[in-house]
Structure formats: C-alpha cells, structure tokens
C-alpha cells in the first residue's frame, strides 16, 4: 500500500480548473519531485493535500485513510507537514519559538499545567526546547546559538527557508511537502539544500514530495518525477525518462493548440 | 503631527516657511480655542497645581503652544542626511505662529463676548469662560495678552532644542516631578500621615503645591536627574534587554518589589484612595483578562464587559437574599459557580463568532455585550434579574466572622489585589507555555498556525474562556463591593475603557496593563468612578478617545510594550539594529556568501 | 484492504466534517429558525383571533420600518465603501452622521427662529440638508486626513481601534460643546405632516419624503460611481490600490473622495433622522451606526446596492420583528427589546451568511 495515494483529484477556482483529475501514488521513503510550467497546478495540489482547500472531487488516501476535506491542523496531525512557496514564518516569534510552535500538535499540556507548573508540564517544556534545538542543529551552525532568540524576520532568505523546513520537521511528519525549497537561493546554497533533502530521508526517515524548478536539484535527489501541466499529470518516471519525454518538452516549450487536446485525450485513454 | 514630521526632514524647514507657519499657528489656535470652547479650560482651572499661579487648566492650555514650538524646532535625524542647523528662523517662526494662535483664541473670546445668544446652543460660552480665557483681564487686554503669552511659550518650546540633550532631559524630568507631585497630592498626604511636616511643607492648605516647594522640587529633581542620567538602576536594566534570561531575572526582581508595595501601600492610604485603588484593581483584572484575548490571541473583543456582567450577576443572584434564586450561598461557595458560568458564557459567545474575520468578530462581540445588557435590563426577564432595579443587598465576602464589602474598603482592597496577583501570575505563566506560543502564532498568521498543526478554533475558544474567567473574578468582586448589581454598570463604555487600558499600557504585556490601569483609571478615572484628577469627569471619554487615536498613530505598542509586540511594530528599526549589532559585527540579516 | 471501512467513514466526514463548533452553529441556526417560526405562527394566530395589532397598524409599522431602513441604507453605504476600499470598519461613521444631525439642528433652529422655517419649508429643508451634508462630509474628510491616512497598510485591527477612538472623541466633542441633553428639531413644516393616499394606500408624508430622498440619493450615487471618472477611479482603487496607482490614479485623492461621498450620504441620512425622530444628541450616531454596519454586512460588504437593500431589510426587520416574533412568543415589553432584535440580527447574519445576501465586493487584498 502506498503511503499517499491520490485518486482522480479535482479542484476548480471559480471556473478555472486548477487540478483536473490527478492520480498519484507515493511510496514510503520515496523522494518525489513535481515539476511543471507555471500555473500547472502544483501548488494547488499541495494546498489541497494539506487541507488549505477542500477538493471538489477525488480522494486523498494517506496511510489508508481518506483525508480529503479535513482541516489543515488535522492533516498536519495525521503526519503531513509542508512549507510554502513564499516562505511563511511567524516573523515576530524567535527562531526557537517558531520551531517550538511546530511541536504543538505532538504535545499535550494545557492551561492547568502552565498555571500550576506541574512536573509533566515542565518536563514537556524541557523536551520541546531540547527537540527544537536538536532540529535546528540539523542545518549546521546557521540557526543555532545567538540565533535562537532572534526574531525570524531578521533572517536571510535562505535561512528563512531552512527555518520553515525545521518548523515542518518539528510537527513530526511522515510525509514532508516542500514547495520550491531552493527558490531564491544561489547555486551553492541550493546544492547544500539538495544534500539536506537527501538527508531528510536517509537520517530522519521522511518521505518527501517537493515542487521544484531547478532541474539540477530535481535530477540529483528524486527517485521519481511527476510532471503536471494544466492541472493534469502528463508524465511520470525517473528524471531521465521524464527529461526526454516529448510531451514534457512540449509542455515547457509550447506547441500548437489543436495538438494538445488530442494528446491529452490519448493520455487519458 | 504627521505633516510636521515630514516637513522637519526637508531642509526647507530651517528657512521661514510661511505655509507651515500658518498651519502650525492655525492648528495651535484652534486647539486652544477648542479646550476653551468645550469648557475644559474653565473646569480644570478649578484645580490648582501650584497655588496661586498655575492651575491644571492653564497647564493644559499653555502646553499647546509649547508643543507647537517644540515641533517647530524639532529635527528628525536621519542617518546619511544632513540635518538642517538650528537657526533663529525657528524662534521667529514659533513666535509668529504663537502670535497667530493667540490671536485666534482672543478672537474667539471676543465673539463669545459679543454674542451672548450663542450660549443657548453652546452652554459653555459664558462670561466666566471668557474671563478665564483672557487670564481674567477681559477681552480688550486679552487681544494683547493671549498672543503674547502664546508667542513666549512657543519660543520656550523651540528653546528646548537649544539645551544639551542631558539638560533637556533633566528639565523635562524636573517638570514631570513637579506635576506628578501636584497631581498625587492626596496620595502623598495619606502616605505621610505619620510625618505630616513633609506634606505641610509641600502643599498649600487650600490645595496645590506652594510656589516655594514647587521651585525646590524642580531644582532637586532637575539636579538629581542631571547627574544620575545614564546610570542604570542595577535590578531593572534587564527589563528592556533583548536577552531572555536577563529580562526574566529583572522581571522577577520587579515582581517581588511590586508585591511588597501592594502589601504596604493600602495600609498607608485612607478610605478614599483605597476605594480608588480597588477600582484600579478591578480594571487591572479585566485588563489582564482582555489582554489574553486581544494581546495574546489577537481577537478584538469589544463586548468584554459581558463577562464582567455575567460574573457580577451570577454572584449577586447566588448570594443576595432578595434574588430569584431559592437558595443562598456565601461568596466563597458561589465563587466556583461564577467561574463556571463565565466559562460557559465565554464558550457560548465565542463559538458562533470564532470563525469570523477579525473585524467582524469585534463588532459581533460588541453586539453580544449589548444584547446581554439589554436582557438583564428588560422587563421580560426582570423576575429573574430585577430589570432596571437590579439585584440588591449582595453581601460582602465572608472573612472570619465578618462580611467584607464596600464599606470595609481597606480590607476589601486586599481581596482585589490578591485576585489581580492571581491574574497576573496566570498571564505570566501562560505567555511562555505551549498554549501561549500557539496564541502568539495564531495572532501572527492564522492560516499558517492552522497549517502547522494548531487547532485554531480550540485555541481561540480557550483564549475566550480564559479571558471570560478573569473578567468574572472582577465581576464577583464588584458585586460584593457595591452591594447592588444593575445593568447600568455594564455599558459598552466599560469595554472600551478596558480596551484603552490594554492598548495604552501595552498589548501583550502584564506590567503594561497594570501601568495602563494605574495611569488611566487611577488618575483620569474609570467609566463611573472619578480618579485622582476628579475634574476630568465629563472630559474623560474625550481624552480616552483622543488617547486611543494618538497611541495608534504614534506608539501602537503602548507605553510598556511586550517584546514581541515591539518587534512587530518596529521591524525596520529592529532590522537596522540587528545589522549593526555588537560593535559592527554582522549578526543580522546577512546574505551568505 | 483498507478501503472499505476507513474510506466509507471518511467519505461521510468529507461532506460534513462536524466538529462540535459546526454542531453548535447548526443548533443556533435551527434554534433561530424555530424561534422565528414559532413567533410568526403565534402572531398569525393572534391576528386571526383579532388580538394584537390591526392590519392598518401592521402596515404603519412596515412603512415606518421601510423609511428607517432607507436611512440605515444610506448610512450603510459609507461603511460599505470604506470597507471596500480600505478594508476596515470605520467605526466612527455613525459619529459622522451624528455631526451632520447636530449641526443641522443649529441651522434648523436658526431658520425656525428667523421665521423662514414656517414661511418657506422647502427652502429650509434644503438648507438644513446642505448644512448637514457639508458638516458630515467635512468631518469624514478630516477624520481620514488626521487619523486614517497614516495607517494604510497597518495590521487590520489598528485602523479599527483608531476608528473606535475617533468615534468616542467625536461623541464627546459634541457632548462637551453642545451639552449632553437631547435637542429637538422644530416641528416639521405643515406640508409634511399627515398622510397621503396613493391608490388607496395611506402613507405618512414624512415617510414618503424620506423614501423619495433615499431613492434620489441612491440614483445620484449610482450615477457617480458608474459614470464619472472619480467613480471609476474609486472602483479601481477598491480592486487594487497599487495597480490603480500605476495606472495614474491619485489614490490619496480617491480615498478622500470615498470618505467625502460616504460623509455626504451620512449627511442625507442625518436629515432623514431629523424628519423621522427630531431628537438629537451626541449619542445619536452610535446605535444607527452599528445597525447600518449590520445592513452593510447583510447586503454584502463592498456592494453598494446590497448596502441599500440590507438597510431596508434591517429597517423592516427592526420595525416589524419585535412585535411579530417576540410578540408572537408572548414576551412582554417588546419595544425595550428593539435593539436586542437588531443586534441579534447582526449575529444571525454573520452566522448564517457572512458574505451577505447580495455577495461581497472586496479588493484583491481583502478577499480571504
């Protein structure tokens, strides 16, 4: 059984079809890249999987349960964490607090514990802090030490992306959805992050699905590449297979309109 | 204000700028006219700060041209931009603008004098007002006197910029000390009952500082401030520090000190001031509760008074022998039920509004607050709540064999302060807990909070309920204190004043809320209770409204901001600091090589 | 394997996903409908049994509700336009209306003393209208300039809190300048007293006047927004401020126009208030303000026609609702509960249909 199985997923925004019937399966321990031209519906797919929008039709089966239509917090709790294309941190919380907040759904102590400073509460707070620091150390020295107490908005762009990944890791997910993790990074930074994404699987055991534009990153780290165009899957396979697929090349470079309808038709059949 | 700041940046400001001059002078004149026309000057004139030369009315009146002069002379220093030098042009400008302002005020006096019929529409347009406005010399002399005084005061305002920073600060502190000493006259008198020589030296028997003592105070405070400036108070330096542990240690020292003060101070104060302190305490309680809802969780609740009302009514119904409830409990027995009722009310009001946009939520909570008040007031439910009569004969809090109510205020105040301490402790503990972080995250970005696994519906309701319970503390105390609970005490204005307390003090910050309640409710007064400056009476809400606008425009983080809040509202400045942190070492927003 | 059980349960959850909040909301909805239905049935029974109000009394209530609703509608336009363009609730709009009513009173009083009121009623009304509109417009513009302009782009709640401050400042400015007592406009001129019979349908002249004025203002506003350059600029700014600025539209000026137009409409509403109720004091603006905001939400905020429609609906509901529903339930002293009905309407509107009956029209930044 695949970890995540999407069946005939559809989502339209006021007549614009963002996702027009996507099927996708992700096995545990895989790294899958989703590529496709702008407006292909990649981020919409993430938004639907993570519960930000409910799908119009179709199923999202995660660990054997259909999670379609659940609230984002429930889905996060079920084990799917994500990052955002335009990094969205809590800018005025400190670096450490950002990661601590991520652990909310894995911890339990409520108001009583905080007021009476129960032993369980203190123990949990200690664990939260320890874990947060541990997660941040995954990114080397960049987010540790004096950085812990800095507000997130002072961080550089690359560090914000790292912090966002750290926050997602803190939710203890099984599946990590990364939306353009290397966007806006220079070649050195993205090479480094590529390596980290590999380590997310090998060291931490996450399954990763990412949207990525940088083909070097995609080629280096993905087991499988899925290509979306106009809300439908037009190709799937290894990086090599996909990069030589005619449909894919045409999707990126464009082709006459009448052709497209026929090929999509064929694809469906 | 805005315009002045912008103008100050442009080098043009150093030359004589006629448009700016007309605007500043005109606005100053209008402001002076305004406080004369609405009777503030006349009413406040009855309160002498320094007998016989300075009343609160004139202090306020003359503060206007002073601020004008100060603004005219102000230069905004921007790094890399040359600041225009101070020139005599500033002084000339302040003097001319002052003349203009005074002329407008004098003209107003003349109009009021010439058309006595206006008094039908404007009840404050009386000969007495004209007399006060013209310093008692009549309209003719007023035409000379008002422009002259305004010009001189304006020039003094500009002159402040000629002093060195250190001296200016010393003078400001000294002036502040004198004003505070005058305002706190009754407190000082109560405090030094055992050493009456001091108040007798300071104050005139008829009220107000003596001229001599004002001068002495001014000099002592000024000299002390001048020489002590820059030295940090050992325990409190860390309060504003960015370093969390240092801040925590300093807060702890401050908290212990405050605790000691709260135990000692009520013993020294007399009945009137303890009454005032109790009111301040009730507003601190509600302020702390609203602070959790607004400051921590970011939900603007304009109907917060509803929970206060629920607390007070529940307590009254359960304890009063005249109530519709067939049995009677004492205060302590009823207290847990009050909390449960408040929590239920929080849940009941919170649930339908919880998914609304923030601003809709504000208006709907306001609606709920009014609905609850109207229901308590209605004939329909009067068999249960007593209608306009309310619930009478609510007993005090049993303590030993006594019932402590409003008449034993010197004891009652300790109950209030005890609950304030509990509320402060709860707020403090929640702030840095798992729930507190979830609230902070939600306040920053609700969608993302939801996406990282925070059940925002639950978190919001939790904030609502916690806030409601803290307000019901205040309600339960209020019922025992006043003895009669009726709907008139729970008007919308109470919600607004609590909001002002939280905002002016500093949203999200416990000490801020405490200071806000002390300064606003203590000095200016609450919705139905006078503060130290009783003269504010009818002008209280005018001042509160103006204060709210002023704070939002100039200092939205409040007097004592919380660290998070200050960061949020001053990101740019913080970024600059972060760049230049610790001796030019780049630790801020760097782009890695 | 897994599919069968987990999937079926999950499929049900997909449709409803009933958290207890949803359940509670449904309970409120159903409860509200039941209470209203029960009240209606009670009223109809009473009516059939000849108890309670007569048909003509009901008709008068409806007409009173309509004219009051027309006033709410005009006031709602101000809330709706400002929300549409700047994305915040201008809490002080009720006070803009009150300023017009208060200063209009001074004009009316003067006209009355000078004898013009009786001699030339139409001219008098026009003068009072002009004074009220001018005052409200001026106050609205001033408030925008002093308080709101600096707050563009501030977090959403900051301008709202500021407007609450402005609201209280204005209220107590008038309270301290004019005193807190209620001032009463002079008796409406002879020609507006009594009732007219149109096709066998009797309608009070004052109500008719109010409704006609509202319709005329609405037509004027519609023409302004859709046909003039400033109106188009307004719509562009409402849609997207930055792009509007790039298209060469002076955003500041357009926003001032929005406040001015909203203020002018509040001035017209002030005259209506004078005709309908006559009494004004510093607190006059508060409740109508909140009710007008309710109307704006009811009609779909940002939607001008909706605001007017929402106003009329709320007016009707407030005029008829207490007697029709609460009276039908047998609750005594319903007139005391008039405002409770209005506030409950606000809560119910937001629970049932937060986007209003006619749909929201919000700019790109405010659509969430």
B360 touches chain C (CB under 8 A): yes
* Subunit contact A1:C15, Cβ cutoff 8 A: no
Q: Same structural domain for residues A72 and A96?
A: no
Q: Same structural domain for residues A153 and A177?
A: no
Q: Same structural domain for residues A46 and A160?
A: no
C-alpha–C-alpha distance, residues B353 and B360, integer Å: 8
B426 touches chain A (CB under 8 A): yes
Which chain A residues contact residue C10 at CB under 8 A? 65-68
Which chain B residues contact residue C351 at CB under 8 A? 352
DSSP B83: P
B468 to chain A nearest CA, in Å? 14
pLDDT in tens, B133-176: 999 898 999 999 999 999 999 999 999 988 888 899 999 999 99
* Subunit contact A154:B575, Cβ cutoff 8 A: yes
B368 touches chain C (CB under 8 A): yes
C-alpha–C-alpha distance, residues A175 and B517, integer Å: 49
User: Which of A172, A191, A210 lies at the terminal end of a domain, its last residue?
Assistant: A172
B2 touches chain C (CB under 8 A): yes
Query: Which domain range does residue A259 map to?
Result: 1-79+173-269
Residue C98: inside a domain: yes
B380 touches chain C (CB under 8 A): yes
Bridge partners (DSSP) of residue C196 are: C203
* Subunit contact A69:C13, Cβ cutoff 8 A: yes
Query: Which domain range does residue C359 map to?
Result: 21-45+53-366
Where does residue B153 rank: exposed (0-12), middle (13-18), buried (19+ CB within 10 A)? buried
What per-residue string of b and e applies to A119-151 under the rule 16 or more CB within 10 Å gives b? eebeebbeebeebbbebbebbeebbeeebbebb
* Subunit contact B571:A91, Cβ cutoff 8 A: yes
Question: Is A218:A225 a contact under the CB 8 Å cutoff?
Answer: yes
Mean pLDDT along residues C327-353: 81
Domain count, chain C: 1
What does the pLDDT read at residue C138? 97
Residue C8: inside a domain: no
Instruction: Kindly identify which residue of chain B lies nearest to residue C327, measuring between CA atoms.
Output: B380
Those residues whose C-beta lies under 8 Å from the C-beta of residue B573, and which sit 6 or more positions away, are none
Q: In chain A, which among 31-70 make CB contacts under 8 A with chain C?
A: 54, 59, 61, 64-70
- Residue of C11, C14, C364 to mutate for A, most A C-beta atoms under 10 A: C14
- Verify cis geometry, omega within 30 degrees of 0, for the bond prior to B480: no
Instruction: Kindly identify which residue of chain B lies nearest to residue C162, measuring between CA atoms.
Output: B549
C-alpha–C-alpha distance, residues B280 and B264, integer Å: 16
Q: Same structural domain for residues A112 and A240?
A: no
Residue C2: inside a domain: no
DSSP codes joined into one string, C18-67: --HHHHHHHHHHHHHHHHHHHHHHHHHHHHHTT-S--HHHHHHHHHHHHH
Which chain B residues contact residue A167 at CB under 8 A? 452
* Subunit contact C164:B377, Cβ cutoff 8 A: no
Residue with tokens 């000024």: B222
Residue B583's pLDDT band, with cuts at 50, 70 and 90, is very low
Residue C328: inside a domain: yes
Which chain C residues contact residue B546 at CB under 8 A? 165, 169
User: Which of A128, A150, A172 lies at the terminal end of a domain, its last residue?
Assistant: A172
CB-nearest partner of C10 from A1, A65, A71 = A65
Question: Is A9:A50 a contact under the CB 8 Å cutoff?
Answer: no
Total Cβ atoms within 10 A of residue A85: 14
What does the pLDDT read at residue B570? 63
Which chain B residues contact residue C180 at CB under 8 A? 538
- Residue of B549, B557, B568 to mutate for C, most C C-beta atoms under 10 A: B549
Q: Same structural domain for residues A139 and A204?
A: no
What does the pLDDT read at residue B587? 38
Q: Are strands A207-211 and A31-35 parallel, antiparallel or unpaired?
A: parallel
Those residues whose C-beta lies under 8 Å from the C-beta of residue B109, and which sit 6 or more positions away, are B36, B130, B133, B134, B139, B142, B146
Q: CATH code at A214?
A: 3.40.50.300
What does the pLDDT read at residue B244? 64
Residue C195's pLDDT band, with cuts at 50, 70 and 90, is confident
- Please tell me the number of Cα atoms within 13 Å of A120 on its side-chain side: 8
Residue C6: inside a domain: no
C-alpha–C-alpha distance, residues C35 and C45, integer Å: 15
pLDDT in tens, C53-108: 777 888 888 888 899 999 999 999 999 999 888 888 999 999 999 999 999 999 99
Q: Same structural domain for residues A164 and A181?
A: no
Q: Same structural domain for residues A42 and A67?
A: yes
Q: Indicate the range of A129-133, B3-7, B552-556 predicted with least confidence.
A: B3-7
* Subunit contact C11:A71, Cβ cutoff 8 A: no
Residue C198: inside a domain: yes
DSSP codes joined into one string, B50-73: EETTEEHHHHHHHHHHHHHHHHHH
pLDDT in tens, B47-60: 999 988 899 999 99
Domain layout of chain B by residue ranges: 3-162, 165-229, 269-504, 563-593
Q: Same structural domain for residues A179 and A72?
A: yes
C105 to chain B nearest CA, in Å? 10
Q: Indicate the range of A134-138, B218-222, B349-353, C353-357 predicted with least confidence.
A: C353-357
Three-state DSSP at A184 gives: coil
Q: Same structural domain for residues A148 and A26?
A: no
* Subunit contact A93:B440, Cβ cutoff 8 A: yes
* Subunit contact B448:A157, Cβ cutoff 8 A: no
Residue A109: inside a domain: yes
Which chain C residues contact residue A1 at CB under 8 A? 1-2
Residue A56: inside a domain: yes
CB-nearest partner of C2 from A64, A68, A69 = A64
pLDDT in tens, A147-195: 888 888 888 888 999 999 999 999 999 999 999 998 888 889 889 999 9
* Subunit contact C13:A70, Cβ cutoff 8 A: yes
pLDDT at residue A121 tops 60: yes
pLDDT in tens, B430-483: 988 999 999 999 998 888 999 999 999 899 999 999 999 999 999 999 999 999
What does the pLDDT read at residue C59? 83
C-alpha–C-alpha distance, residues C261 and C258, integer Å: 5
* Subunit contact C347:B367, Cβ cutoff 8 A: yes
User: Which of A138, A172, A206 lies at the terminal end of a domain, its last residue?
Assistant: A172
Which chain C residues contact residue A68 at CB under 8 A? 10, 14
What does the pLDDT read at residue B236? 56
- Residue of C17, C20, C21, C170 to mutate for B, most B C-beta atoms under 10 A: C21
Mean pLDDT along residues B366-378: 90
B577 touches chain A (CB under 8 A): no
Q: In chain C, which among 239-258 make CB contacts under 8 A with chain B?
A: none
CB-nearest partner of C157 from B359, B377, B539 = B359
C-alpha–C-alpha distance, residues B578 and A153, integer Å: 11
Partners for B (CB, 8 Å, 3+ pairs)? A, C
Residue C359: inside a domain: yes
Residue A84: inside a domain: no
Q: Indicate the range of A244-253, A260-269, C195-204, C276-285 predicted with least confidence.
A: A260-269
Partners for C (CB, 8 Å, 3+ pairs)? A, B
Which chain A residues contact residue C5 at CB under 8 A? none
* Subunit contact C177:B124, Cβ cutoff 8 A: yes
Question: Is C176:C304 a contact under the CB 8 Å cutoff?
Answer: no
* Subunit contact A92:B425, Cβ cutoff 8 A: no
pLDDT at residue B23 tops 70: yes
Which chain A residues contact residue C15 at CB under 8 A? 69
Residue C363's pLDDT band, with cuts at 50, 70 and 90, is low
Instruction: Kindly identify which residue of chain C lies nearest to residue B503, measuring between CA atoms.
Output: C161
Total Cβ atoms within 10 A of residue B106: 25
What does the pLDDT read at residue B535? 85
What does the pLDDT read at residue A143? 84
B350 to chain C nearest CA, in Å? 10
Residue A223: inside a domain: yes
A156 to chain B nearest CA, in Å? 5
Partners for A (CB, 8 Å, 3+ pairs)? B, C
Which chain A residues contact residue B433 at CB under 8 A? 109, 111, 113-114, 121, 125
Which residue, C119, C75, C125, is CA-closest to C96? C75
A28 to chain B nearest CA, in Å? 22
What does the pLDDT read at residue B332? 94
pLDDT at residue B584 tops 60: no
Which chain B residues contact residue A158 at CB under 8 A? 591-592
**Whole-number mean pLDDT of chain B?**
86
What does the pLDDT read at residue B237? 54
Residue C283: inside a domain: yes
Which chain B residues contact residue C331 at CB under 8 A? 380
C-alpha–C-alpha distance, residues B287 and B292, integer Å: 9
Q: Write down the ipTM of this complex.
A: 0.89
B-C Cβ pairs (cutoff 8 Å, strict):
155
B435 touches chain A (CB under 8 A): yes
Q: In chain C, which among 281-310 make CB contacts under 8 A with chain B?
A: 290, 293, 297
Question: Is B295:B507 a contact under the CB 8 Å cutoff?
Answer: yes
C359 to chain B nearest CA, in Å? 16
Q: CA dist A83 to A72, A86, A160, B448, B558, Å?
A: 13, 9, 11, 10, 34
Q: CATH code at C292?
A: 1.10.3470
């Amino acid at each position: 059984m695949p970890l995540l199985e999407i069946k005939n997923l559809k989502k339209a925004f006021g007549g614009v079809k963002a996702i027009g019937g996507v099927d996708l399966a992700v096995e545990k321990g895989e790294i899958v890249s989703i590529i496709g031209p702008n407006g292909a519906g990649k981020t919409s797919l993430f938004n639907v999987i993570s519960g930000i929008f409910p799908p119009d039709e179709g199923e999202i089966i995660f660990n054997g349960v259909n999670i379609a239509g659940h609230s984002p917090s429930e889905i996060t709790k079920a084990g799917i964490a994500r990052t955002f294309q335009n990094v969205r941190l809590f800018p005025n919380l400190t670096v450490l607090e950002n990661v601590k907040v991520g652990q909310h759904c894995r911890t339990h102590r409520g108001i009583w514990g905080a007021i009476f400073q129960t032993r369980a509460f203190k123990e949990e707070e200690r664990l939260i802090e320890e874990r947060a620091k541990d997660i941040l150390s995954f990114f080397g020295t960049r987010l540790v030490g004096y950085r812990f107490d800095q507000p997130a908005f002072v961080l550089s762009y690359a560090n914000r992306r790292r912090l966002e990944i750290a926050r997602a890791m803190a939710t203890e997910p099984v599946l990590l959805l990364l939306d353009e993790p290397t966007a806006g990074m220079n070649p050195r930074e993205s090479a480094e992050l590529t390596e980290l994404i590999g380590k997310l699987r090998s060291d931490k055991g996450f399954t990763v699905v990412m949207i990525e534009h940088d083909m070097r990153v995609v080629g280096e780290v993905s087991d499988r590449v899925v290509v979306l165009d106009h809300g439908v899957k037009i190709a799937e396979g290894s990086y090599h297979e996909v990069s030589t697929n005619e449909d894919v090349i045409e999707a990126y470079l464009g082709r006459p309109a009448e052709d497209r309808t026929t090929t999509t038709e064929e694809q469906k059949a | 204000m805005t315009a002045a700041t912008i103008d100050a940046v442009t080098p043009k400001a150093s030359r004589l700028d006629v448009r700016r001059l007309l605007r500043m002078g005109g606005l100053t004149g209008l402001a002076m006219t305004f406080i004369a026309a609405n009777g503030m000057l006349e009413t406040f004139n009855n309160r002498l700060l320094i007998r016989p030369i300075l009343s609160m009315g004139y202090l306020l009146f003359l503060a206007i041209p002073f601020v004008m002069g100060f603004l005219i002379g102000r230069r905004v220093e921007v790094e890399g931009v040359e600041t225009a030098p101070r020139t005599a042009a500033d002084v000339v400008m302040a003097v001319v603008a002052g003349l203009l302002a005074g002329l407008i005020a004098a003209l107003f006096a003349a109009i009021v004098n010439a058309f006595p019929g206006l008094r039908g529409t404007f009840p404050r347009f009386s000969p007495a007002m004209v007399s006060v406005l013209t310093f008692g010399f009549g309209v003719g002399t007023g035409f000379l006197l008002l422009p002259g005084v305004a010009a001189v005061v304006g020039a003094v305002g500009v002159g402040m910029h000629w002093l060195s920073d250190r001296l200016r600060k010393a003078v400001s502190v000294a002036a502040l000390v004198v004003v505070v000493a005058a305002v706190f006259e009754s407190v000082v008198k109560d405090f030094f009952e055992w050493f009456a020589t001091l108040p007798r030296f300071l104050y005139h028997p008829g009220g107000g500082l003596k001229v001599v003592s004002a001068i002495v105070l001014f000099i002592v405070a000024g000299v002390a401030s001048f020489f002590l400036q820059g030295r940090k108070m050992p325990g409190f330096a860390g309060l504003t520090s960015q370093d969390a542990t240092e801040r925590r240690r300093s807060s702890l020292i401050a908290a212990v000190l405050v605790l000691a003060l709260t135990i000692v101070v009520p013993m020294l104060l007399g009945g009137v001031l303890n009454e005032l302190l109790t009111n301040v305490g009730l507003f601190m309680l509600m302020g702390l509760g609203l602070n959790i809802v607004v400051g921590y969780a970011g939900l603007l609740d304009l109907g917060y008074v509803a929970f206060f009302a629920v607390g007070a009514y529940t307590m009254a119904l359960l304890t009063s022998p005249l109530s519709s409830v067939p049995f009677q409990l004492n205060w302590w027995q009823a207290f847990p039920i009050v909390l449960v009722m408040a929590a239920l009310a929080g849940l009941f009001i919170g649930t339908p509004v919880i998914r609304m946009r923030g601003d809709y939520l504000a208006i709907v909570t306001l609606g709920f607050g009014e609905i609850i008040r109207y229901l308590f007031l209605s004939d329909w439910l009067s068999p249960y709540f007593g209608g306009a009569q309310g619930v009478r004969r609510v007993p005090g809090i049993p303590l030993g064999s006594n019932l402590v109510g409003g008449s034993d205020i010197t004891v009652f105040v300790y109950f209030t302060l005890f609950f304030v301490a509990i509320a402060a402790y709860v707020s403090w503990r929640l702030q840095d807990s798992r729930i507190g972080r979830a609230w902070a995250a939600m306040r920053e970005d609700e969608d993302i909070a939801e996406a990282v696994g925070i059940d925002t519906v639950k978190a919001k309701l939790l904030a609502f309920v916690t806030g409601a319970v803290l307000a019901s503390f205040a309600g339960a105390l209020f019922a025992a204190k006043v003895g009669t609970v009726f709907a008139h005490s729970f008007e919308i204005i109470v919600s607004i004043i609590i909001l002002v307390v939280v905002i002016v003090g500093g949203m999200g910050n416990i000490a801020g809320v405490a200071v806000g309640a002390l300064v606003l409710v203590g000095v200016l007064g609450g919705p139905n209770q006078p503060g130290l400056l009783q003269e504010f009476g009818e002008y209280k809400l005018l001042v509160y409204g103006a204060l709210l606008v002023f704070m939002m425009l100039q200092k939205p983080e409040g007097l004592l901001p919380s660290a998070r809040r200050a960061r949020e509202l001053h990101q740019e400045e913080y970024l600059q600091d972060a760049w230049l942190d610790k001796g030019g070492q780049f630790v801020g927003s760097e782009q890695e090589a | 394997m897994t599919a069968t059980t987990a999937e079926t349960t999950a499929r049900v959850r997909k449709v409803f996903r009933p958290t207890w909040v949803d359940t509670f909301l449904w309970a409120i909805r159903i409860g509200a409908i039941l209470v209203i239905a029960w009240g209606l049935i009670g009223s109809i029974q009473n009516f059939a049994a000849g108890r309670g109000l007569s048909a003509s009394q009901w008709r008068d209530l409806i007409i009173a509700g309509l004219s009051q609703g027309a006033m709410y509608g005009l006031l709602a336009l101000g809330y709706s336009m400002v929300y549409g363009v700047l994305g915040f609730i201008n809490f002080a709009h009720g006070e803009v209306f009150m300023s017009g009513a208060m200063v209009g009173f001074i004009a009316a009083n003067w006209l009355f003393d000078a004898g013009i009121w009786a001699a030339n009623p139409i001219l008098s009304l026009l003068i009072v209208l002009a004074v009220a509109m001018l005052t409200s417009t001026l106050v609205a513009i001033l408030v925008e300039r002093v308080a709101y302009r600096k707050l563009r782009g501030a977090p959403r709640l900051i301008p709202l809190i500021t407007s609450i401050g402005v609201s209280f400042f204005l209220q107590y400015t008038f309270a301290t300048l004019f005193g807190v007592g209620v001032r009463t406009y002079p008796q409406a001129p002879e020609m507006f007293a009594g009732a007219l019979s149109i096709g066998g349908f009797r309608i009070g002249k004052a109500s008719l006047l109010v409704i006609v004025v509202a319709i005329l203002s609405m037509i004027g506003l519609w023409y302004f927004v859709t046909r003039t350059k400033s109106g188009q600029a307004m719509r562009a700014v409402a849609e997207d401020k930055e792009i509007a600025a790039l298209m060469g539209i002076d955003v500041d000026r357009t926003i001032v126009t929005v406040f001015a137009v909203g203020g002018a409409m509040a001035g017209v509403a002030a005259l209506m208030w004078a005709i309908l109720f006559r009494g004004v004091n510093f607190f006059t603006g508060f409740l109508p303000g909140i009710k007008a905001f309710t109307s704006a939400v009811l009609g779909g905020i940002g939607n001008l026609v909706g605001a007017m429609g929402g106003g009329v609906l709320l007016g009707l509901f407030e005029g008829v609702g207490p007697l029709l529903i609460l009276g039908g339930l047998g609750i005594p002293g319903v007139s005391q509960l008039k405002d409770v009905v209005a506030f409950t309407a606000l809560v119910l509107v937001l629970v049932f249909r937060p986007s209003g009956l006619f749909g929201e029209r919000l700019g790109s930044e405010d659509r969430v």
